[in-house]
Each structure stands twice: as C-alpha cells, then as structure tokens.
Structure 1
Amino acid sequence: MKNLFRRSTLIVSILFSASALAADRIDLPSRIKSHKDGILTLMSFTVLPDVTTSSLSINGGQSNDTSLKQTTVGGGFTISQDFPLYLEGTAGYSRYSPTFIDNDRKLNIPVKWNSFSLTGGIGWDFPLTENRELKLRPIFNFTLGRIESDASILGYYLENNTDIDPDYLEFLHRGRMNAYGLGASIMLDWEHYREDYEVDVELRYSNIQLRSFGSEYNSIEGSSTASVASLWTRWRALTGLTMLNNPLRYVLEASNTTFFGPQRDALDFNYLTTLGVGLELDSSDYPVFITRTRILCRYTFGENVSGFALGLAMSF
C-alpha cells in the first residue's frame, strides 16, 4: 500500500492597489460583491492535494490591506494491485482579510473571512503495461466547505452612518456560506521501483466546480472552479549509509502546477514550480505504523513569487 502525505510552507508577498470610494458614503456593497466572488476562488486553492500550494501566506499593501493565509494537508493511496481502488483526501483552511476603506471619514473596516474545506476522491487504477508500472487513474472528486465572516467594528456606526444594504451589513458581521464541489481528475502514474533506486512520476489534471448553498442572503451566492494541471516527480536512491537497520536514501523532487480559469492570476501568478532535496528514513523493521519518513527542503518559484519550504512526507 502506498500512502503519500505532503506538507510544505511557502511565504510570498504581493502588493494590491487601492481604489478610491465615493466621498459621501462607503461603497461597501460593490466591494463585498467583488470580494465574495474571490472567496470561493481562494478556497479552490485548498481543495486539491498539491505540493506547491499546501501553505501560502500573502500580505497586501497598506493602502488596501488584503491578506491571505492558507494551509492544506492531503494524501492518497491505492489499496492493492489485486484490488486497485484509489482513495485520496485533502483538508484545507484559509483566512482572507480584506479591509474596506472610507477615505472621507478616515475609517478602515477590517473584514475577515475564514474558509474550511474537505475534499475526497475515489478512483480506480487501469494498468497500461504488463508489469503494472504505468497506470491510468480516473478519479471522482467531491468537496464540502464552509465560509464565515466577521467584522471588528461596531455595527452601530455602520447602521447610522452608511446606507449599506442590510443583507451586506448582516453578512459582514455574521455572514456564513456553505459550499460544495463536484468534479473529476485524470492521472497518469508511473512507479518504477528497483532495489537501488525508485522513480515516481504523476501527471494530473483536475477540475472541480464549486457552488455556494445554504446562505440566507441571495446577494452573496457565488461560484468558482478549481482547474489545475500538475506534474510531480520524485527520485529516491541509496546514500551508502545505514540508519534504523535500513539503508538511508536521498530524495530529489520536482513539480509544476499550472492554474486555469478563475484561479489564473487570482494571486498574481499562473504557475508554481517546486524543487526539493532531502533524506528518507526506513523504519519498517520497527513496530510502528509509519514505514518511511521523508524530510525535504523545497524552493518554490513562479511569476512574481518565490520562497523556501520545509516538507514532511510519510508512507504507511
């Protein structure tokens, strides 16, 4: 049984430009409407098991302070060669903190949206070669998520000094929105394992349609799409050293993820590439359920962004 557990950290910085609001009122409805369309798009970065976006931290400029923090944990495995059912799962969390600005009253209104998502996948391996090293894997994906909003300013001021639509005002304070997603992935998986080295290559395209539901406010209904093509590769070989009564392996890893649809340019980049190097410990001789542990240092880069990461992976 193969089980992959991936986690990394990436810190990037992007400047967002400020936009002027009307002098006699806070133009929150149009701002909220533009932001709510992006909330589901930002959630779409957390619904798939991808090493390049497993953790992001983005800070905006002072004039329109928009920030995003997100992290995901995911993995997948095939039960056995005799019963090649493939299962995967991803849990994601993100916090999106835009600030609406009233230039006339010198007032900043911070709003925070928190999203939680769980994504599952069920697939089947179809061998393309006699030795079963190359497999075609169609996957059915499903997502369930929740978004909540809060505002750290007195509602009295907003109610008495602005003409904000009540639905928008209520959503700013106690807004809640559920989301679901249905979609599919297609993966080409090559596993070439020998005594001295191991090679893994995964080529994947995923498309999940996200929709909101269960909201009391029709004005905040939204939709988005997670559309991603990715290539992930890994080389493992012997170092000549022994630890835990087993050979110590070095690991080289490379991956590239390209975004399509609403995700494209949503965070000021269209793709991310990751290069990693690390070591793998084999603990299969000990009575623990973890058979292998990998620690990797990764460098991630793309258009306008770059950062370093520390990755942890486990096999069971």
Structure 2
Amino acid sequence: MRNNRPLSFLLHIAARARFEVDRRRPDVPVTRRIHGVDIVMPRHHLLPYLTSGDSVYNLNLVELARGLYDLESTLTLLDVGGNVGDSALGVLSAVPAYVVCVEADPAWQKYLDMNVAGRDDVAVEPYALVPPGYRGGFEINHADVGSSNLVPAAEGSGPPSISTDELLERNPRLQQVRLIKTDTDGYDVLLVPAMAETFKASRPVIFFEFEALATSLATPELPLVSVWERLLDQGYEDAVLWDNGGRLLGPDKVANLIARSGQLSEAMSSAYFWDVAVAHKDDATGLEVLRSVACDPAGHAEVGYGGA
C-alpha cells in the first residue's frame, strides 16, 4: 500500500496544477471526453484532469459492472452521488444496464439531466439519500472543482432528502439492484450499512469511497470503523481496495479493515482515500467478480469504457 501512495499523490498534484491553469477561464459548460465518453460539465470540473492520459481513475466501477453483467446478463446500478452522470454513462457505455442516479446538489443536477436526457435506462432522483429514520438536515458546501458535500444542519433545512427505504418504494426496479456505487464525500459510512439493509434481498456488491477526513467532518458522531463492523454483521466479509488514483491495492477481509482504516486515518490527508468494493458471503457471483478484479496484475490498466 505504501508504494502506491506516492505515485497516486503525485498524479493528483499534477492534475490539480493543470486544472488551476484552466480554472482562470470562465466556468461555462463544456463537453469533455472521459475514457471515451462525451460528457457535458462545467469547465471548472476536475474530472478531465484526473482521467487524462493513461489514468485508470474511475475505471474500477466499470470493471465491477462488466464483471457482474458478464456473469448474470443483466445489471441494475444505484449511483449515489451521481454528479454530472459520469459514473452512470461510463457503465452504460460498457454494458447494458438500468441506472438510478441520486444527486442532491442542483449545480450537478442540471448537468446530470442534460447528459441523460431522453434515456429510458436512467432515472434521476434529486435528493439527499439518508438512512430510514434520519431526522437531520443539510446545507450544501459546493466546490467548483467538481464535487460538493453535505454539511449537517437543522432538521428540514437544505435539499430535500429521501430514505433508502423510500427510494426503493419509488423505484421498484431497485429490488434487483446488483451494484451500488456511493460517493458522498463523508456520508458513506452512514449510508452503506443502511443500503445493505434496504437492498438485502438482492445482496448487491457495494462500491464506496472511504476517506477519513471527509467522514470525520460529515459524521463526527460515528467511529470510522463502524462501517466495517456493521457490514460484517450484515454478511459482507470480503473486500477489494483501490487507492485514490484507481490503482489496485488488492483484496482483504472486511474484518481486517477495522485496523487498517485506523492507519488510513492517521497517515492520509484529504488528497488520499480508498475505493472499496464489498460482496456478501452468500453472493457467489459478487465474490467471483471481486476475485477477478483482485487478480488483475496490471491494476486494471487495460480496462476502458465501451469495451476497450
């Protein structure tokens, strides 16, 4: 793991440097090609810089989707933190799928709507997703680099929210959801166990960002390790990790991540995080997909959208 950090950290810094040059220009809508897919986004969006050249950033989700589709010939994806639609469109360019995108920030919703307009294989839910019974409110802390995060606020404030159970009621096709991606800049520790419970009938593979600093700011009341403890209780025992540049770190047991996440919290800055995929112990297909992506000796450098 330590050998991967310097490379990804330097790539991150180089991308930010290129971005800062372009950031001086007006922040107007532009079309960028992300791993072979044309996506409309604001010029001040960091994604094109993180995915330039031979970067494998954002390809791990597509690899998981392709693996599930290849073994089951169908795929339903829940994309929480849909942003401008890059994850949804990346998956859909690689495999046929049905995608439900959840995005709370109106700044990204308008681009998401533009990018999926007219498609019958994508549904958009303009809400902040919360666990059942959650009573807090939010304020949106919007950054012009392509991300935003929810800040805890008084109940009833901020964007409208929807619980994981309500989301399922509104979208019956999620009864068959097989892949969940969530990237909410800190709320994933709160959401992942709730989604595992709500969608337990289909035992989805869950792919999420685990970033210690953002989590401590968004959900200070929750210990970082709580996500691993609750996943274990819900039958999720196996995981695969990637670094913040999308490079494969390898497989591990969820039980081991209790200690490892403490190390991440102590050693990593906000420029570093893990992407994590977990599969249920009774999901033979999901476990096979995790084994497949974990055995890729190149860190899936050959994987690209659109079957490349």
> One fold, TM greater than 0.5?
no
Kindly indicate which of the two structures has a greater share of residues assigned to helix: 2
TM-score (norm 1): 0.24
Kindly indicate which of the two structures has a greater share of residues assigned to strand: 1
